[in-house]
Structures are given as C-alpha cells and as structure tokens.
Amino acid sequence: MSLPLEGLTAIVTGAGRGLGRAEALELGRLGAAVVVNDYGQPGRDGSGEASATPAEEVAAEIRAAGGRAVAHTGDVADHEQARELVELAVTEFGKLDILVNNAGILRDRMIFSMTEGEWDSVVRVHLKGHFNTTHFASVHWRARSKAADGPVYGRIVNTSSEAYLAGSAGQPNYAAAKGGIVGLTTSTALALAKYGVTANVICPRARTRMTEDVFAGFGQPEEGLDPLAPEHVAPLVGYLASPAAAHVNGQLLVVHGGMVAIVERPRVATKFDTKQDVFTYDELDALLTPHYADRPKGETFAAVEVLGLKHE
C-alpha cells in the first residue's frame, strides 16, 4: 500500500523545533522526501548564534525512520538563501511539490513601546520569509507547468495565527505579519490555481518555544497527549499537502487539540444606505453611534465569539 505523499518532495521551514519539527516528521511519515529548514538561532526573538544542529537532527530523525531528508540551515528571510533552499530540494530530490512555511520569531511589545527594529525584524522573518520561499517555489511550478503544457502538483501551507484573527494587544508586529500572510496566501491561491498549485493557511494553537509564556497557565496532562502538542496540528498539514486536498484552495483553517475550524472570509454584518445623495455627518452619527453603543469596549470586527473559539 502506497503512502499518500510517496514520490513527493516537501520543504518545511522553521522545522528544527516545535510545530515545524512535528510537521516535517509527519510529512516524512506520509512518504515525502523532506528538506528540513531551520536557521537554528536559540532565542525565540531571533537572537543567538545560528546553528545547523536543529535542522540536521530532525533530518536525521526522518532518515532513521526510513524516510529521505536533508537539512538546510539558511535564513528564509534572505531572498538569495530562500532561492538556494528551493534549488536544494530540486537538486536533491528532482523537484519540489510541497512548501510548508512555518519559520518565525517574536519580539513582543505594546504599540506605543515598539521600536522600528522590533517591527521590521518580525515582519521580515514571517511575512517576507513566506514571500521569498513562495516566490521561488511558484517560479519552479510555473516553469514545470509550461514545459508540461498542463497543471503540475503543488501545495503551499502557510502559517498564520489567532493573533491576527482575534487580536493580540502586545503583538502588533506579529499580528500584522500574520494578517499579511493570509493576504499573501489568498492572492497566491488565485494566481497559481491554473498551474495545479493550491495555497492554504492555518492558524495553529500549540505549546512551543514561541508560545511557552502564552500557555504557561495551561498545565500538561499527566497521561496522554498534551491538547496543545504540535502533533495535533501536523496531520492537517499532511492532509493539505496531499492529493486528497486538490479542491482545497485559498482556505483559512484554525487547528488545535483535536479540532479543525474552517474560517469564512469576512462578511458584511450590517449595511446602511444614505437617504440623500451623500452621507452627512449627522446622518452617520444617527446610524452608527447607536449601532456601536451597546458593544463592549475594545471589541474588534474579528470578535472571537464569531469564530466559536476561545482565545487564551
């Protein structure tokens, strides 16, 4: 019996630890050859000396389980190193079929305290990193499609966050970057569909090095799998990377602890029309002020109640 990803090649960025590691192991278990990318800096804020060890250890783990894997230790936020990552997959395994973007850092601060460097560094790694790898992967798939005169196999799974969906007061850089990733994904889904490529985005909730303080109050069970374990997220990534998900494109899914929620695109909640040619201030005041008066202060358009989720 063949495995669902047998004969396919995947790249997983940020795969040396946490979510990326679980995803890389899952793709390898499902039969894919995996390029394990991780820059290897120990600090969740992107600080510390880069190290090849995390990526190499995960690649070795996949090989020890009977799979195929190589390590790549470049910085995906660097355009040239992202190109080299895609080239490594093609050189080592003949082609690229799956791209999972997961690399990221945190530099949390309230908006009034955040520095320009803290903003730029997080947007660079998350949003630019996603763009860089997606760009070179899409160049590869478009060229293959033109050569084949038809669609090819391509899957992109990007990583956003509930910080984008529900808001996160101390993470304006992170929330903005994660929102940008959703926009990048939906645009990419439309642009690459004719080549046979799908692009989807997940909002995972998991206990990792980056979220250790967020979930500090949620203890791990003495027995059984932690509801916040990255292993709850990895199967969805494996599914989205598979042939079974051929008709899933441009979708946003929240996943954690045995739950997957499909998030709809924003819909109009209420609509007001002017009774004149142009709205006046007084007319808008009469319509909008009562509408918002009974809402809790600070409630955003992406209120978590709409999602049916509880954001910790």
Instruction: Decide if 189 contacts 249 (C-beta within 8 A).
Output: yes
Give the C-alpha separation, 201 to 223, whole Å.
Answer: 31
From 161, 164, 239, 242, active-site residue: 161
Nearest Cα to Cα of residue 98 among 21, 174, 158: 158
161 assigned to active site: yes
Tokens encoding 200: 């989807």
275 assigned to active site: no
Give the C-alpha separation, 11 to 24, whole Å.
Answer: 8
From 178, 195, 239, 242, active-site residue: 178
Give the C-alpha separation, 173 to 176, whole Å.
Answer: 5
281 assigned to active site: no
Q: State the Cα angle at 31 between 225 and 61, rounded to 5°.
A: 60
Half-sphere exposure of 122 (CA within 13 A, CB side): 24
Nearest Cα to Cα of residue 38 among 101, 91, 92: 101
Give the C-alpha separation, 310 to 21, whole Å.
Answer: 26
From 39, 153, 164, 174, active-site residue: 174
Q: Give me the active site residues, please.
A: 161, 174, 178
